[in-house]
């Protein structure tokens, strides 16, 4: 069949389309964003009427995907690793309800935190939810695992977690396609109570999930993606997960691999294969691109069994993305590093674009706050987080989406006044609205600045759920209309904007200031498209 040059993300999207998905649900987040974007650009998706709009957040996306599955159709839901925290409630519970149409949950982790707040490993969530996890080691596997993940999902009637990491998500290689499958027809669940998790039903459903565990394990044992390669040198056996397989093999391109090797790309762990390599070898080296989850399981708390080496004993670094060089060091191979980086090379951190509306917002805010001193601005996640850097030094927190509003509230409850939140429009509709409701209900003395550039800029300019309606939403939640102000963050309005912020800082209740001007990148792009 046809070969395509695809990034890991795109391979997942194509795999889903070829498997006959009827919808994809997602909230943007690096490195997962391109899965949805590929479907949105796909002719095949358009012809098949595949639903592909962005959701307000990962939780709403997961629930909508589950609803589509309830109706008998195949759905995929995509997010970055921290998005799964937001969607954890429906995710864990969907394992208990089970699914009807196949459902794949594609989550992209970001070891080394190339663009994230942490490097949590989604495989833990798979284990937590008691679900099968697929972890591709190549673009081809990313494609096939998505395609076959739907079959696995429908066979056991459970969601399947597809876990990838940044490197694969954003790396291109050739992918061969499988035969295209038609979409499912609408078909209600056979058991009308399957999705009703009242305790009495939930207990039964949970037992069903538990009863599948043996089946999941034997699927892993027979999976073509888990493979045992024998070897004569039994001093160390290698267990490699996902991409780590490539990093190990990179070190044996010009060397002979004599040790037994177990490649694991499907979980739960294939017990028989693990037992085999453990019984044959004197010790094990476990290599994973992520947390040492398999290593920890095999080691055991009391370390009574076979000796297990990896990230926990310092054979490999405890944190950060796995690399072929880390593996070479662990194997005792010399790394022929090139010349050192000359000292003239200085860092080049990302920064806000010239003409960005956030810049003018921060200039006004900093000036308005001057009399009160530092340390009272809670911010959030987006381009405006770069306000933490020089020359602005404008914010004091960035924790998780929506936390600016609620942390400002908590600090105000503690007596820090004024207390300011700075949040983007997409982040506000993702998780800020409920926080505003808390503030309104308690009349908290907070000043919430919504820096509204009418897009989700940080991740590349996707549509933002509340565009054009942010002020209405705030009033609808109950913010006093006389303290919902819209300003235009332009240099020429600097003085009057600063004045408005000053006034609202003095207000002893909830104030919302919407600094509204379109993202300079989006605006430029639109202008260019118009010219064409």
Partner 1 sequence: MKTDIILSGVGGQGIVSIAATIGMAAIRENLYLKQSEVHGMSQRGGAVQSNLRLSDKEIMSDLIPLGGAEMILSVEPMESLRYLPYLSRQGWLVTNTSPYVNIPNYPDIEEVIREVEALPNHVALDADKIAKDTGSARSSNIVMLGAASPFLNLPVESLQEGIRQIFGRKGEDIVNANLKAFEAGRKVAENNK
**By the criterion CB under 6 A, which residues form the site for ligand TPP?**
27-29, 58, 80, 82-83, 86, 381-384, 401, 424-427, 453, 455-459, 464
Q: Which is nearer to partner 1, 279 or 346 (CB)?
A: 346
CB-based contacts of 334: which residues, under 8 Å, 6+ apart? 328
| Smallest separation (angstroms) from partner 1 to the CB of 170 | 6
Q: Which is nearer to ligand TPP, 291 or 384 (CB)?
A: 384
Q: Which is nearer to ligand TPP, 102 or 424 (CB)?
A: 424
Q: Which does 399 bind (CB under 5 to 8 A by kind): partner 1, ligand TPP, none?
A: none
List residues bridging with 109 in a β-sheet.
165
Residue labelled with tokens 């490649």: 263
Q: Which does 168 bind (CB under 5 to 8 A by kind): partner 1, ligand TPP, none?
A: partner 1
Residue labelled with tokens 């381009």: 383
Q: Which does 335 bind (CB under 5 to 8 A by kind): partner 1, ligand TPP, none?
A: partner 1
| Smallest separation (angstroms) from ligand TPP to the CB of 387 | 10
CA quadruple 239, 317, 168, 262: dihedral, nearest 10 = 0
State the Cα–Cα distance between residues 398 and 117, nearest whole angstrom.
9
Query: What is the token pair recorded at 106?
Result: 């594609």
Q: Which is nearer to partner 1, 347 or 371 (CB)?
A: 347
| Smallest separation (angstroms) from partner 1 to the CB of 41 | 13
Q: Which does 28 bind (CB under 5 to 8 A by kind): partner 1, ligand TPP, none?
A: ligand TPP
| Smallest separation (angstroms) from ligand TPP to the CB of 386 | 9
State the Cα–Cα distance between residues 111 and 126, nearest whole angstrom.
17
Q: Which does 83 bind (CB under 5 to 8 A by kind): ligand TPP, partner 1, none?
A: ligand TPP
Nearest Cα to 449, choosing from 388, 400, 510? 510
CB-based contacts of 41: which residues, under 8 Å, 6+ apart? none
Q: Which is nearer to partner 1, 235 or 334 (CB)?
A: 334
Q: Which does 350 bind (CB under 5 to 8 A by kind): ligand TPP, partner 1, none?
A: partner 1
Alpha carbon distances (Å) from 106 to 56, 77, 158, 402? 17, 6, 14, 23
Q: Which is nearer to ligand TPP, 267 or 428 (CB)?
A: 428
> What is the H or E stretch that residue 187 is in?
none
R_g (Cα) of the chain, nearest Å? 25
Q: Which does 338 bind (CB under 5 to 8 A by kind): partner 1, ligand TPP, none?
A: partner 1
Q: Where are the alpha helices (DSSP H) in 262-377?
A: 271-280, 293-299, 324-331, 357-369
| Smallest separation (angstroms) from partner 1 to the CB of 458 | 8
| Smallest separation (angstroms) from ligand TPP to the CB of 450 | 9
Alpha carbon distances (Å) from 490 to 26, 61, 363, 422, 517? 33, 35, 10, 17, 8
Query: HEC states along 452-475?
Result: ECCCECCCCCECCCCCCCHHHHHH
Q: Which is nearer to ligand TPP, 86 or 411 (CB)?
A: 86
Q: At what angle do helices 139-156 and 8-18 cross, to 10 degrees?
A: 40
Q: Which residue is nearest to ligand TPP (CB)?
A: 424
Residue ranges that bind partner 1, judged by CB under 8 A: 5, 30-31, 33-34, 114-115, 166-168, 170-174, 243, 246-247, 249-250, 253, 323-325, 328, 335-342, 344-353, 383, 386, 458-460
Q: Which is nearer to partner 1, 114 or 207 (CB)?
A: 114
């Amino acid at each position: 069949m046809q070969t395509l040059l695809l990034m890991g993300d795109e391979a997942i999207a194509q795999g889903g389309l070829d498997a006959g998905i009827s919808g994809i649900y997602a909230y943007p987040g690096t490195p997962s964003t391109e899965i949805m974007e590929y479907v949105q650009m796909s002719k095949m998706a358009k012809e098949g009427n595949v639903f592909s709009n962005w959701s307000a957040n990962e939780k709403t996306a997961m629930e909508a995907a589950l609803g589509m599955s309830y109706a008998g159709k195949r759905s995929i839901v995509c997010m970055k690793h921290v998005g799964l925290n937001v969607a954890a409630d429906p995710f864990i519970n969907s394992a208990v309800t089970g699914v009807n149409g196949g459902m794949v949950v594609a989550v992209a982790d970001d070891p080394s935190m190339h663009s994230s707040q942490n490097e949590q490993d989604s495989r833990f969530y798979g284990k937590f939810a008691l679900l099968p996890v697929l972890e591709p080691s190549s673009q081809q596997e990313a494609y096939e695992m998505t395609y076959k993940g739907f079959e696995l999902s429908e066979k056991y009637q459970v969601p399947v977690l597809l876990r990838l990491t940044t490197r694969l998500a954003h790396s291109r290689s050739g992918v061969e396609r499988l035969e295209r499958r038609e979409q499912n027809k609408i078909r209600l669940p056979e058991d009308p109570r399957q999705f009703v998790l009242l305790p009495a039903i939930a207990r039964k459903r949970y037992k069903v999930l538990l009863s599948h565990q043996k089946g999941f394990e034997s699927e892993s044992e027979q999976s073509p993606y888990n493979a045992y390669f024998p070897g004569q040198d039994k001093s160390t056996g290698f267990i490699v997960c996902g991409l780590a397989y490539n990093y190990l093999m990179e070190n044996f391109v010009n060397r002979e691999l004599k040790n037994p090797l177990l490649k694991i790309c499907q979980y739960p762990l294939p017990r028989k294969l693990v037992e085999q390599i453990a019984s044959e070898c004197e010790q094990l080296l476990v290599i994973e691109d992520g947390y040492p989850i398999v290593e920890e399981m095999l080691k055991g708390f009391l370390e009574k069994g076979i000796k297990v080496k990896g990230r926990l004993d310092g054979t490999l670094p405890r944190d950060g993305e796995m690399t072929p060089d880390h593996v070479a060091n662990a194997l005792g191979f010399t790394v022929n590093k090139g010349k050192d980086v000359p000292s003239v090379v200085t860092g080049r951190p990302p920064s806000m674009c010239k003409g960005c509306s956030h810049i003018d917002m921060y200039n006004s805010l900093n000036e308005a706050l001057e009399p009160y001193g530092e340390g009272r601005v809670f911010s959030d996640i987006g381009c405006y987080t770069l306000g933490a850097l020089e020359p602005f030094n404008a914010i004091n927190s960035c924790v998780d989406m929506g936390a600016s509003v609620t942390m400002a509230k908590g600090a105000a409850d503690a007596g820090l006044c004024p207390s300011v939140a700075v949040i983007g429009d997409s982040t506000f509709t993702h998780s800020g609205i409920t926080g505003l409701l808390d503030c309104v209900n308690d009349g908290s003395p907070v000043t919430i600045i919504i820096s509204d550039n009418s897009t989700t800029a940080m991740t590349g300019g996707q549509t933002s759920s509340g565009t054009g309606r942010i002020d209405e939403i705030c009033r609808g939640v109950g913010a006093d209309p006389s303290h919902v102000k819209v300003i235009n963050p332009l240099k020429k309005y600097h003085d009057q904007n600063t004045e408005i912020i000053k006034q609202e800082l003095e207000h002893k209740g909830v104030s919302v200031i919407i600094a509204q001007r379109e993202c300079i990148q989006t605006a430029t792009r639109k202008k260019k498209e118009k010219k064409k």
